[in-house]
Structures are given as structure tokens and as C-alpha cells.
């Protein structure tokens, strides 16, 4: 079960923009071949694909909230790349739904959406990628993108916080069950970090308040998150399997 340091086959869910795009670039620069997944933002995903160093990268679209869609995405990634050595579960939704201001109908629908994308898609892709790794006998890596919100609470986004906590727990369960096959599973728990999607929030009073959350006086960067994920996916990080790595600039310390 020898995981190479480069030229791995990497599937990144939700890679059309933001952190997913940065992750794809980090793995491509490392010398890996990347399957860039997108749900609905095909044009953005094609821009991600065009920006990657190296050759052999592919585009894989599909609805991960549907188990059949997840199977189709994983199957096409396996076919195009020749297998999956690394899975990064990055796809997620994070829509506001404070209880006091949300109707029951909207509340139920939003919870279902968060569970389907953030948790069940992660579980399903993990099963599909791990089965490929087991069947080929190569070992591999699964890295989940969790959240600081799993530990500190998300009053306006409770389903996001809850599903990210579940993702952390899922990763730890899989770390134990998959270790005999040479598959290491870990998660990262980022705090607030800059992407184009949240750039507007970093201006004005809200931006000052966000930066003040960390004693470093700034928000994180997608590149910092990607560097941690790249290490957790590396051959030398096997002993970190089961970890949930806080990446929040000391803005939230847990015991």
C-alpha cells in the first residue's frame, strides 16, 4: 500500500471556485492529476480547470445530493483518472436560517438540503472512493472540509454547524475502519477565510469585526487551508488519521 508523493489521482468536490479552486491548484502544482467537480457552475469549473498546472486534469459535473449522482461523479472520475488516490470532500451549502425568522416549511427544506449535500454526499463519496482504493489495494487519503462552526455553534446557520460536526465524526469513524486498508482519513476545521464569495463581508464594520475574531487581526486565506489539506493528503501524514485540525488563527480554542 504505497501512496505516491506526486502523480496521484485526486477528486475534489465543489471545485468550481473559492476554496475548491485553490485546492485544485495546490494539488496540480504538487504534480497530481485532478478531477474538478462542479454542481451547477460549469463555467467557473472550466476556468478552474484551465488554471491548473500540468496535464491530465478532468472536469466532472453532477448533483452530489442524489446518491445516484454521487455514484456517477465518482465513477466518471475513476474512469478518467484511472482510479482515486485522494478524495477531498469540499462541496457544501451554507444558507442562513435563524430559527426565529424562518418558517417551518423553509426550515425543514433547508435542513434537508444541508444534510443531503454537507453530510450524505460526503459519506457517499467517501464510500465510493474508499471502495476504489480497497479494490486496487493501494491505500489512499480522504480529507474532509469541516468547520469551526461545528464547535462554537452557528446561531444563524444551525444546520451548517450540525452537519459539519457530523462530518468530523464521520471522518473519525472512517479513520478507524479504513486504517487496515492503508487509507487515512482526516478533517480540517477552518474559521473565517477569504474567498471571492465572502469578499463583500470583509469591508466596513463587519470586516473589522471578522478580523478581530483572531488575535492575528486578520482573516485566514484559502491558500492556508489548502496547504494543510495537501499535507494531510501526503504520504507522511498517515499518523494524523482521525484528526480534526483547527485552522482558525486562535479565534476559537477548544479543549
* Domain assignment of residue 226, yes or no: yes
CATH label of the domain that carries residue 33 = 3.40.50.720
pLDDT tens-digit readout, 201-219: 888 789 999 999 999 999 9
* Domain assignment of residue 136, yes or no: yes
Query: Cell 478552474 sits at which residue?
Result: 48
Rounded Cα gap, residues 109 and 106, in angstroms: 5
All three cell numbers of 136, joined, read 486496487
pLDDT-based confidence at 2, cuts 50/70/90?
low
* Domain assignment of residue 205, yes or no: yes
**Which residues pair with residue 93 across a beta bridge?**
none
* Domain assignment of residue 2, yes or no: no
pLDDT tens-digit readout, 12-22: 999 999 999 99
* Domain assignment of residue 3, yes or no: no
Nearest CA among 6, 68, 49, 1 for reference residue 234: 6
* Domain assignment of residue 254, yes or no: no
* Domain assignment of residue 114, yes or no: yes
pLDDT tens-digit readout, 134-167: 999 999 999 999 999 999 999 999 999 999 999 9
The residues carrying an active-site annotation are 160
* Domain assignment of residue 253, yes or no: no
Give the structural domain span for 41.
Answer: 9-247
Domain count, the chain: 1
Amino acid at each position: 500500500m504505497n501512496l505516491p508523493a506526486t502523480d496521484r489521482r485526486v477528486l475534489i468536490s465543489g471545485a468550481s471556485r473559492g476554496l475548491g479552486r485553490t485546492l485544485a491548484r495546490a494539488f496540480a502544482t504538487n504534480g497530481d492529476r485532478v478531477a474538478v467537480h462542479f454542481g451547477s457552475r460549469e463555467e467557473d469549473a472550466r476556468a478552474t480547470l484551465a488554471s491548473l498546472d500540468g496535464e491530465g486534469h478532468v472536469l466532472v459535473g453532477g448533483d452530489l445530493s442524489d446518491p445516484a449522482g454521487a455514484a456517477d461523479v465518482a465513477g466518471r472520475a475513476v474512469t478518467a483518472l484511472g482510479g482515486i488516490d485522494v478524495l477531498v470532500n469540499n462541496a457544501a451549502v451554507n444558507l442562513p436560517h435563524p430559527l426565529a425568522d424562518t418558517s417551518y416549511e423553509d426550515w425543514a427544506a433547508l435542513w434537508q438540503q444541508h444534510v443531503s449535500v454537507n453530510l450524505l454526499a460526503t459519506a457517499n463519496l467517501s464510500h465510493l472512493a474508499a471502495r476504489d482504493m480497497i479494490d486496487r489495494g493501494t491505500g489512499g487519503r480522504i480529507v474532509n472540509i469541516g468547520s469551526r462552526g461545528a464547535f462554537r455553534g452557528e446561531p444563524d446557520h444551525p444546520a451548517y454547524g450540525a452537519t459539519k460536526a457530523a462530518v468530523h465524526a464521520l471522518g473519525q469513524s472512517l479513520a478507524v475502519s479504513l486504517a487496515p486498508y492503508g487509507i487515512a482519513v482526516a478533517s480540517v476545521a477552518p474559521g473565517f477565510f477569504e474567498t471571492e464569495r465572502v469578499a463583500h463581508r470583509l469591508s466596513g464594520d463587519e470586516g473589522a469585526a471578522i478580523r478581530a475574531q483572531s488575535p492575528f487581526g486578520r482573516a485566514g486565506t484559502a491558500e492556508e487551508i489548502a496547504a494543510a489539506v495537501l499535507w494531510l493528503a501526503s504520504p507522511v501524514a498517515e499518523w494524523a488519521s482521525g484528526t480534526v485540525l483547527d485552522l482558525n488563527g486562535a479565534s476559537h480554542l477548544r479543549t
